[in-house]
Amino acid sequence: MLRRLVLLLVLANAGYWAWSQGLLAPYGLAPSVQTEPQRMATQIRPEAIRLLTADEARQLENGDSARRASAPSAEAFAAECLQAGLFNEQQTASLRASLESTLPAGSWQLESSIEPARWIVYMGKYSGEDALAKKRGELRQLGVTFRPVSNEALAPGLALASFPTQADAGKELARIAAKGVRTAKVVQERAEARGQILKLTAVDAALRARLAAITPQLQGKTLTPCR
């Protein structure tokens, strides 16, 4: 019985080997052949593929990092227009000399400009910070907005609204009075001024790095986006 079982196993293995090798194909017994020539055609030099060592992979990663660090970003090339002013005649002369010696020709320009007068609905002067704080609290309760005055001669005081003309400020005073504000008045916070505005039309990273040299000649005025 055991011999017969062993013989059957040997015959079965021999038959499977003959079938897998195609020796029984003339008898209609053979494994199906999978042929996909289109897949072979799409392979790109598979023999060239190799695994990188740890050192090679590290060198490749370091090289990519260095290239990314050295590549200039789009932000570095972004240029913007900046301006500052108004500068009077004396300030303009000092600023012009600094610009000519520091910045490239054509990178800046000085333009004539007029700063209109400013009239405000004003409350003040107050005797000190306590009185000023008390008035702020009263105005908040009435729903009236305010800001500190920019004219030192009017400080400490509050500007409730600003207008280019005295007439417009007077109309606002009447409106605010209807809300319960009784001691406000119209005053001129700033007279009309004529002078020059500095304009830098294309400030990139390289030009921005050189602007610190002209800061003293800006007389405390800040470079802001062009209007």
Instruction: Answer yes or no: are the C-beta atoms of 147 and 120 closer than 8 Å.
Output: no
Q: Is residue 206 part of a domain?
A: yes
**37-55: pLDDT as tens digits:** 555 555 555 555 666 676 6
Domain count, the chain: 2
The model's pTM is 0.51
Is residue 208 included in any domain, yes or no?
A: yes
| Cα–Cα dist 170/182, whole Å | 14
Residue 107 Cα to chain centre, angstroms: 23
| Interval 112-135: pLDDT, tens | 999 999 999 999 999 999 999 999
Region for 174 from its dihedrals, namely left if φ exceeds 0, alpha if ψ lies in -120 to 50, beta otherwise = alpha
Three-state DSSP at 33 gives coil
What was the pLDDT predicted at 78? 76
Domain that holds residue 172: 118-190
**Residue 131 and residue 93 share a domain:** no
Percent of the chain with pLDDT over 70: 72
Q: What string of DSSP letters covers 132-180?
A: HHHHHHHHHHHT---EE-S-GGG-SEEEEEEESSHHHHHHHHHHHHTTT
The pLDDT value recorded for residue 31 is: 62
pLDDT at 95 over 70: yes
* Residue range 160-164: mean pLDDT, rounded: 96
pLDDT digits (tens, 9 = 90+) for 48-85: 566 667 666 677 677 666 566 555 554 455 789 999 98
Same domain, 91 and 126: no
